[in-house]
Amino acid sequence: MKKKHFLHTALTLLLMGCTAVAQNKDAVKFSQTITKDNAFKHLSVLASDEYEGRETGKKGGWMAADYIKNHFKSIGLKGPVNGDYFQSIDMVTYGLSQILTVDGQPAEPLKDFYNMPQSVSAKGFSFNANDILFVGYGLTKDGYDDYAGQNVAGKVVLLFKAGDPKGENTSGTTSRNASSALNAKVKYLTEQKALAVLAIDPAMDNMPDNLKSYLLSEQMVMKTKENMDRLNNPQGLAVMTIGTTLANKILSAGNTNIDALKKKISETGKPASQEFKISISASANKVEKKVRAENVLGFLEGSDPKLKNEVLVITGHYDHIGITPNAKGDDKINNGADDDGSGTTGVLMVAEAFAKAKKAGKGPKRSILFMAVTGEEKGLLGSEWYSEHPIFPLENTITNLNIDMIGRGDKDHATDNNFVYIIGSDMLSTDLDKIGKKANKDYVNITLDERYNNRTDPNQFYYRSDHYNFAKHGIPVIFYFNGVHEDYHQPSDEISKIDFPMLAKRAKLVYFTAWELANGLKRPRVDKNEDGTPKN
């Protein structure tokens, strides 16, 4: 009996010792600043109305950048961009200056006509003519040809954006289908060397506010070589959309109108193509403005001379979508408490924990770059800029841990919010996947949901946040995410709906994973190709 009891006791103590070893006491000690209270302290500022939704290139975005910079500075992180914390991005906006005059009378933008901003190059366009060629639906099919006997070369061509010569009901035509149909017509007219296209769209007569807002908005562009080459390409065929009022004004030069022409085509089954003697002139030009936009970087140098050149990058995007003037209700500010004020808050807390460890002489062996990126909502712009203009060589970057939305939950976890989605952890590195999961098991014990962890997921989450701009360069990543909820990209994404204990717990998972990565004997080995196949 005694011998058996002794062996049992010894085994218990051994197992307890193994459990203790699994947790690094210093890691646990310095994690104590990652709390729900500290999370609230940061997020109540970043997601306040004063920050106006933190839109890139706007006042609220600049305020957020300054707040993050001051935090990094206050906790002792270094500014790695020639001594500064800001990595400026060469960003501009393009507004559209557009003019259309018919029969000597100016038309009104967004009431009588519009141009799609992305269809106008930096060089813009202009044209003048004394006549306009109407070609009905601009179709050639089933023995019907709107272009029969017509020479469109050098002509301003007027046509219906959508519809059918048989007069069939097209009320169910979607804007996407109509646009696709127009693109095919424009392609043909471009090949035939037409001068310009006027597309008649009855939907313009009652243009929805969201389309007006889009057409009035300035197009934000990073001045990369690829973007500039695209923008500076010669302007293709000028395409302007016009409403029925302006179309009928043009057609009145031939004593007819839209309804009469549609009826004639429908009843006869033949085209009604004809030329109208009426003057027209138009121009559209991009107006460029420099935008202040920056990633905010805080650097913690590693303590091991042999490993400090290797860098772990921890990211979260601090920008959101700003103010929606036509939002329903009184609240117009998209505070972005969860998206991604929560992730930014996580980065700030993790940075503080590591900074305190270093001050106590327990800093990580490898270096860590904490980076709050901008322009994510505009198309992952800030992280793309960093990946093309890295402050530290990408070959020295061992992993990117990216935090985008960790303050809420989704319907699939309504009864238990003790979870986080992880995406990408095994896409490029088996080592990273093991390290991240072991850190969770040893320290945090959150349910790791991997349902979105694949390249073919219809939501495409792997490609939709800043980690992807590291992954596409062969750098292993983990993306931490709490799923989409009903307040996603709405003014209702408010701080009052944040689960602060879970925000802190998820941030701790990032911290402990980072601790293991920054102090491990070896960096995670990249043993998979971008398509997931094993490397040779």
Mean pLDDT of 360-389: 97
Is 141 inside any structural domain? yes
**291 — pLDDT class (breaks 50, 70, 90):** very high
- Best CA proximity match to 228, nearest among 291, 285, 288, 183: 288
Answer yes or no: do 274 and 135 share one domain.
yes
Question: Looking at the predicted structure, is the pLDDT value of residue 407 above 90?
Answer: yes
Residue 204's domain is classified under what CATH number? 3.50.30.30
Beta-bridge partner residues of 188: none
In this structure, the chain runs to a length of 536
The pLDDT > 90 percentage for the chain reads 83
Answer yes or no: do 161 and 212 share one domain.
yes
Mean pLDDT of 468-481: 98
199 within 8 A of 241, measured Cβ to Cβ: yes
Answer yes or no: do 84 and 97 share one domain.
no
Q: Say which residue the tokens 């001379």 belong to.
A: 305
Question: What pLDDT, on the 0 to 100 scale, is given for residue 18?
Answer: 40
Answer yes or no: do 302 and 241 share one domain.
no
Mean pLDDT of 312-341: 95
**303 — pLDDT class (breaks 50, 70, 90):** very high
> What is the domain count for the chain?
2
Mean pLDDT of 198-204: 95
Question: What pLDDT, on the 0 to 100 scale, is given for residue 113?
Answer: 96
Question: What pLDDT, on the 0 to 100 scale, is given for residue 214?
Answer: 83
Residue 305: Cβ within 10 Å count: 8
Is 84 inside any structural domain? yes
Is 9 inside any structural domain? no
89 within 8 A of 222, measured Cβ to Cβ: yes
Dist. CA 378–CA 321, nearest whole Å: 9
pLDDT in tens, 252-278: 999 999 999 999 999 999 999 999 999
Question: Looking at the predicted structure, is the pLDDT value of residue 445 above 50?
Answer: yes
Dist. CA 44–CA 59, nearest whole Å: 17
Domain boundary among 257, 272, 289: 289
Answer yes or no: do 300 and 240 share one domain.
no
Beta-bridge partner residues of 129: 280
Rg value, the chain, Cα:
29
CA 146 from chain centre, in angstroms, equals 42
Dist. CA 142–CA 315, nearest whole Å: 57
Dist. CA 211–CA 243, nearest whole Å: 14
Is 25 inside any structural domain? no
Is 507 inside any structural domain? yes
**13 — pLDDT class (breaks 50, 70, 90):** very low
Answer yes or no: do 456 and 406 share one domain.
yes
Residue 60's domain is classified under what CATH number? 3.40.630.10
Is 16 inside any structural domain? no
Is 308 inside any structural domain? yes
Question: What pLDDT, on the 0 to 100 scale, is given for residue 167?
Answer: 66
210 within 8 A of 326, measured Cβ to Cβ: yes
pLDDT in tens, 497-510: 999 999 999 999 99
Domain boundary among 269, 289, 309: 289
Answer yes or no: do 247 and 261 share one domain.
yes
Mean pLDDT of 523-534: 94
Note down the domain range covering 208. 93-289
Question: What pLDDT, on the 0 to 100 scale, is given for residue 174?
Answer: 59
Mean pLDDT of 521-530: 96
Answer yes or no: do 308 and 256 share one domain.
no
285 DSSP 8-state letter: E
276 within 8 A of 146, measured Cβ to Cβ: no
Q: Say which residue the tokens 């029925």 belong to.
A: 244
Mean pLDDT of 270-289: 96
Dist. CA 467–CA 401, nearest whole Å: 7
Give the angle subtended at the CA of 101 by the CAs of 95 and 104, to the nearest 5°: 150
What dihedral angle (degrees, nearest 10) is formed by the CA atoms of 201, 203, 208, 214? -20
Is 199 inside any structural domain? yes
Dist. CA 65–CA 485, nearest whole Å: 26
Answer yes or no: do 248 and 397 share one domain.
no
Dist. CA 470–CA 455, nearest whole Å: 15
Strand runs (DSSP E) across 318-450, as ranges? Answer: 367-373, 397-403, 419-423, 447-449
Answer yes or no: do 304 and 369 share one domain.
yes
Answer yes or no: do 99 and 78 share one domain.
no
Give the angle subtended at the CA of 415 by the CAs of 480 and 342, to the nearest 5°: 30
- Best CA proximity match to 483, nearest among 380, 339, 348: 339
Question: Looking at the predicted structure, is the pLDDT value of residue 136 above 50?
Answer: yes
- Best CA proximity match to 399, nearest among 367, 374, 376: 367
Mean pLDDT of 391-416: 98
3-state percent breakdown (helix, strand, coil) of the chain, nearest 5: 40, 20, 40
Question: Looking at the predicted structure, is the pLDDT value of residue 240 above 90?
Answer: yes
Answer yes or no: do 309 and 416 share one domain.
yes
Domain boundary among 250, 269, 289: 289
User: Residue 293: phi, psi to the nearest 5?
Assistant: -150, 135
pLDDT in tens, 40-85: 999 999 999 999 999 999 999 999 999 999 999 999 999 999 999 9
**168 — pLDDT class (breaks 50, 70, 90):** low
Dist. CA 345–CA 314, nearest whole Å: 12
